[in-house]
């Protein structure tokens, strides 16, 4: 777990660093807003802890710019300013949570854990389906295998989505036909076999393993070898 801490007060930074290291977190420290912004832009951290009052660029501005660049790393803001208005400003700048100084270390850890859980859920929740090195992002309607984009037609997409949602389970031709083609499905046609072949050409040809397996007399199953 990699954390970026942007904090100019050496004492507080050292206190946080010591505690996080003890909990197994890997900490990178930036001592002003400009340095923090540059590091945050790398997008390689699991959480950013961001102080509000910082030299060069303040924490609110850092947070805004990070979000403008499309970086979604969870941000926990730290501040001694305790009014409601300050908190609202922090959240409006794109922070996910807000912690007032002074704080108990236990609370900091609990907030970090909550943020990373939420992030994990967003990444692997209902919107991502995957098996082996194949991934389907249902929010963006985007498929990739081994980091190579796979362009799908609407029917191929629907078929792949169904196979992934039911991975490790045999799907009969009737189930697939009714789900993907609905009313139009003619069970005497070979349309499913044709589309399974299209899909195999796109997601298996040139890749390391087969994912769609034919189960003779029963249908198809998506599984790792
Ligand atoms: Ca400060």
Cα 52 to averaged position of ligand 1 atoms, centre (Å): 6
Q: Provide the pLDDT for residue 124.
A: 54
Q: Is the pLDDT of residue 60 over 80?
A: yes
Q: Provide the pLDDT for residue 125.
A: 53
The position carrying tokens 């807000």 is 98
Cα 119 to averaged position of ligand 1 atoms, centre (Å): 26
Cα 209 to averaged position of ligand 1 atoms, centre (Å): 53
Cα 53 to averaged position of ligand 1 atoms, centre (Å): 4
Q: Tell me the average pLDDT across 142-166.
A: 93
Cα 9 to averaged position of ligand 1 atoms, centre (Å): 6
Q: Quote the percentage of the chain above a pLDDT of 70.
A: 97
Q: Provide the pLDDT for residue 88.
A: 83
Q: Is the pLDDT of residue 92 over 90?
A: no
Q: How far apart are CA 16 and CA 219, in angstroms?
A: 56
Q: Is the pLDDT of residue 146 over 80?
A: yes
Q: Tell me the average pLDDT across 117-129.
A: 69
- Global pTM? 0.57
Q: Tell me the average pLDDT across 129-150.
A: 90
Q: Provide the pLDDT for residue 191.
A: 93
Cα 51 to averaged position of ligand 1 atoms, centre (Å): 6
Q: Tell me the average pLDDT across 70-94.
A: 85
Q: Provide the pLDDT for residue 72.
A: 82
Q: Is the pLDDT of residue 107 over 80?
A: yes
Cα 139 to averaged position of ligand 1 atoms, centre (Å): 38
Phi, psi of 92 (to 5 degrees): -65, -30
Mean pLDDT (the chain) is: 90
Q: Which residues contact 78 (CB under 8 A, 6 or more apart)?
A: 7, 49, 50, 51, 52, 59, 99, 100, 101, 103
Q: How far apart are CA 110 and CA 132, in angstroms?
A: 32
């Amino acid at each position: 777990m990699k954390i970026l801490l942007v904090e100019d007060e050496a004492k507080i930074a050292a206190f946080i660093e010591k505690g996080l290291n003890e909990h197994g977190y890997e900490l990178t420290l930036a001592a002003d807003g400009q340095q923090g912004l540059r590091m945050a832009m790398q997008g390689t951290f699991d959480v950013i802890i961001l102080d509000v009052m910082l030299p060069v660029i303040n924490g609110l501005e850092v947070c805004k710019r990070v979000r403008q660049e499309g970086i979604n790393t969870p941000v926990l803001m730290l501040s001694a300013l305790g009014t409601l208005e300050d908190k609202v400003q922090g959240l409006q700048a794109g922070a996910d949570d807000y912690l007032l100084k002074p704080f108990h270390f236990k609370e900091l850890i609990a907030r970090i854990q909550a943020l990373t859980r939420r992030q994990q859920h967003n990444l692997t929740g209902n919107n991502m389906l995957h098996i082996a090195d194949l991934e389907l992002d249902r929010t963006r309607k985007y498929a990739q295998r081994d980091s190579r984009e796979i362009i799908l037609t609407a029917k191929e997409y629907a078929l792949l989505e169904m196979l992934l949602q039911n991975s490790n389970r045999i799907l009969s031709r009737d189930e697939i036909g009714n789900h993907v083609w609905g009313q139009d499905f003619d069970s005497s046609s070979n349309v499913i076999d044709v589309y399974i072949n299209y899909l195999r050409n796109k997601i298996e040809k040139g890749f390391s393993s087969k994912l769609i397996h034919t189960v003779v007399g029963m249908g198809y199953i998506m599984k790792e070898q």
